[in-house]
Amino acid sequence: MTDPDLDLTQLTAVRIVEGYRKGEFSPEEVTRAVLERAERIQPEVNAFVRLLGEEALAQARESTDRWRRGEPKGLVDGVPTTVKDIILLRGAPTLKGSKTISEKGSWDEDAPSVARLREHGAVFVGKTTTPEFGWKGVTDSPLSGVTRNPHDPSRTAGGSSGGAAAAVALGAGPLALGTDGGGSVRIPAAFCGIFALKPTYGRVPLYPASAFGTLAHVGPMTRDAADAALLLDVIGAPDSRDWSALDPAAGPFSAGLAAGVRGLRVAYSPSLGGQVAVQPQVAAAVRRGVERLAELGAYVTEADPDLTDPVKAFHTLWFSGAARVTQQLGPHQRELLDPGLREISGIGARYSALDYLAAVDVRMDLGRRMGAFHESYDLLVTPTLPITAFEAGAEVPKGSGLRRWTGWTPFTYPFNLTQQPAASVPVGADGDGLPIGLQLVAARHRDDLVLRAAHALFETGITPSAA
């Protein structure tokens, strides 16, 4: 019999699977609780574009039968999971926050990450909100409106995976699939107080290919690092539809979490060499996280990577992607677009092939410099963002003088250019109770180090504890 004092919506995926194994509760019970929570939070935070109640309960009943027989289908059998509405989910329209996409059609294909989750028995409870085509670092769109912060609904949840972050933070499913082309899992994770990992490019296959090219990653968004490792163990498998997908990892990411940080060489860059103005409360919380890493045995040095702000090159690549994603739209459809997306698409359409290749040159040189940096350091630590969440419905903070979302995300988009693994770890809150994130970055293919360090922070209490 289920413990009446146990809030099933606050459990991690690891704890849920353990509970299924012990017979403490069933997938059907957990899924009902999660769906009820999702319906309750939706009017205030707007995390979902579509809830899949009946479908999810049918999947949960099948999972319950498998667990009763002692025959779970996979690592996350019966675990409620959400999918950002950029990613294909069989049987549900993928509208990408845009009025230019029709719901009509068969919608009969899963993206690779969704296919792997389905093979492992995950229960899909809904599609989460995104800005139109995932183009910016906050979550509002002409199709679904504004997604709000779970800690203060007057503030933004961040983006572009804002719905996913809000859902995880409020107990509407412990596992979420997000995408990250310039910070889009890490930004909302920092603003909402959860964990998110942008894996090494290719670790999680992507199909259809993103119009934003090899900037775009699929990543786990979860309550803690152990859940993210579990999710990555499921979705980090090759898929023939993505020619750039990596071979399978050498072993389960979950198995290496307990190795800790003792002996790791950690570079702490509080402001990228003075290039970024960081709010004092953010800086203090991140510094406490770094001090905890040192207490756990890491060799911490304050050091800045050789990183001149690559925003111009990033904009060339990003705006070109926006132009590509909207290329086939006629005049009437363009009028339906988010005005900001329409503006950058116009800019992107005017770039030449030489402009694009010049940006690629900047990207390749940045990758070379970060490769050299990681010969000396296993991990780089920065704030995830220099600020906490600002007003909902705006691309940039009011009165900031900034033009685009990249103006307040200088710590995130460089590592999409370099394709490195990077995660946001919650390390406290400011005086208004708004979460603060610490970013961990490692060399390409060292996702294990990012997860190990993040797990160590969760285990020792610097991060808010998950149930």
Residues serving a catalytic function are 84, 160, 184
| CA count, 13 A, side-chain hemisphere, 129 | 33
DSSP 89: B
- DSSP-assigned letters across all residues of 160-223: SSHHHHHHHHTTS-SEEEEEESSSTTHHHHHHHT-EEEEPPTTSS--SSPPTTGGG-EEEEEES
Is the Cα dihedral 137, 210, 357, 349 positive or negative?
Answer: negative
CA distances from 297 to 121, 264, 294, 429 (A): 38, 8, 5, 25
* Residues contacting 67, CB < 8 A, separation 6+: 20, 21, 23, 26, 27, 77, 78
Do the beta carbons of residue 165 and residue 221 sit within 8 Å? Answer: yes
3-state secondary structure 292-325: HHHHCCCEEEECCCCCCCCHHHHHHHHHHHHHHH
**3-class DSSP assignment, residue 141:** strand
Question: Residues near 461 by Cβ (< 8 Å), separated by ≥ 6?
Answer: none
Closest to 396 measured CA to CA, from 407, 388, 383, 387 = 407
CB atoms within 10 A of CB 51: 18
CA distance 138 to 162: 7
Centre a 10 Å sphere on the Cβ of residue 250 and count the other Cβ atoms it contains.
Answer: 9
Q: Which of 37, 44, 50 is nearest to 82 (CA)?
A: 50
Residues in a beta bridge with 71: none
Q: Is 38 helix (H, G, I), strand (E, B) or coil?
A: helix
